[in-house]
Copies of this chain bind each other. A is one copy, B any other.
Amino acid sequence: MDFTSENTAPVHPAIVDAVVKANSGYATNFEAEAWTKRAYERLEDFFECELSAFTVLTGTAANAIALGAMVPPYGAILCHWDAHIETDECGAPEMFTFGARQIPLHGEHGKLDPGALETYLKEARFGVVHALQPATLSLTQLTEAGTAYTPTEISILTGIARRFGLSVHMDGARFANAVASLGATPAEATWKAGVDIITLGTTKSGTFGAETIVSFKPEFAKALAFSRKRSGHLAPKSRFLGAQIEAYVENDLWLKNARHANDAARRLSNGLAAVAGVQIVHPTEGNEVFASMPLAMTNQLINEGFKFHRDWRLHPRHNRFVMSWAASFDDIDALIDICKRPTVAQA
């Protein structure tokens, strides 16, 4: 009954199996082994293109290494006010870019507004040495509001960015959920829509911890490779990261996990929407439900053992419920039932 984050859920058994199986005999370290090689090949299938890929342990690392390769120290990163790189990485992008600045922009339901982006870029002082130079657009998919950019929406934003000379980064911590929800292919939701580098999350989708920086542009590969090592993110026993990525992509595990989590979210969202006093504050387009509910209802859920994120710093009374591959429909129904109880709903 822990809906705080996908990261509190157990690792998926198929991933555990893959890791245990990879532990047979000796294997060369630092990616000169078969697991990582296969994993990178599977990612080329997944994205239907040639690419360079770099596994790391955390999403913060993946984002920071990617941005470090894309943005000069005197550059600026344009992102949404609620983006993880802006709010929850303790300045990792600043560290890895050696001091580039993030420019947070607005947009409804976590989606960057094309108008806001264009206005900012039109007024940016390109070529003026007193001003940081916009270099990269960073999109989060799913957004921090649990919504999914459609390929068309991505194309519009990356088109604006491209017109002003910016490259495009996608923080894909919940990319699987987005793709499952959109019914688009991974290719359609990334490079075909103008994305240069995606940091592809799998940790939130059931692995022990394995994120991959995927670059669709060869010019970033050298900086990515050296920056990963230099920041201590190249795993000696790389086969165990490779094995996780391989298992994640094989047999559509990623898609099955994402669909289950999305179904769970829709079930919760639909259930809560029917409860008086509850408001679904963002469209449920992935595996997250954001609901505003009375304080008494929130407290009752906590008292009965439910865990979730009270995202109250930015939006008072907004509760975030995150569904993982392991989310139980029974738990969801139990949660909805509590909210529906007359004593709770009318408190």
Binding site for B on A (CB under 8 A): 2, 4-5, 7-11, 16, 19-20, 23-29, 56-65, 72-74, 87-92, 94-95, 97-102, 123, 125, 129-133, 203, 208-209, 223, 225-237, 240, 307, 313
User: Please, how many angstroms separate the alpha-carbon atoms of A100 and B92 in the complex?
Assistant: 10
Q: Note all chain B residues with C-beta closer than 8 A to A95.
A: 73, 98-99, 230-231
The verdict on A99 contacting B91 (CB below 8 Å), with A16-B20, A29-B8, A232-B58 known, is: yes
Which secondary structure dominates chain A's binding surface? loop
Instruction: Return the chain B residue nearest A97 by Cβ.
Output: B99
Q: Are A90 and B229 in contact (CB under 8 A)?
A: yes
Instruction: Return the chain B residue nearest A133 by Cβ.
Output: B226
The verdict on A132 contacting B23 (CB below 8 Å), with A74-B226, A209-B236 known, is: no
Q: Are B57 and A230 in contact (CB under 8 A)?
A: no
Q: Note all chain B residues with C-beta closer than 8 A to A226.
A: 72, 74, 90, 129, 133
The verdict on A8 contacting B20 (CB below 8 Å), with A89-B130, A92-B230, A129-B90 known, is: no
A336 nearest CB across to chain B (Å): 20
The verdict on A90 contacting B20 (CB below 8 Å), with A28-B4, A233-B232 known, is: no
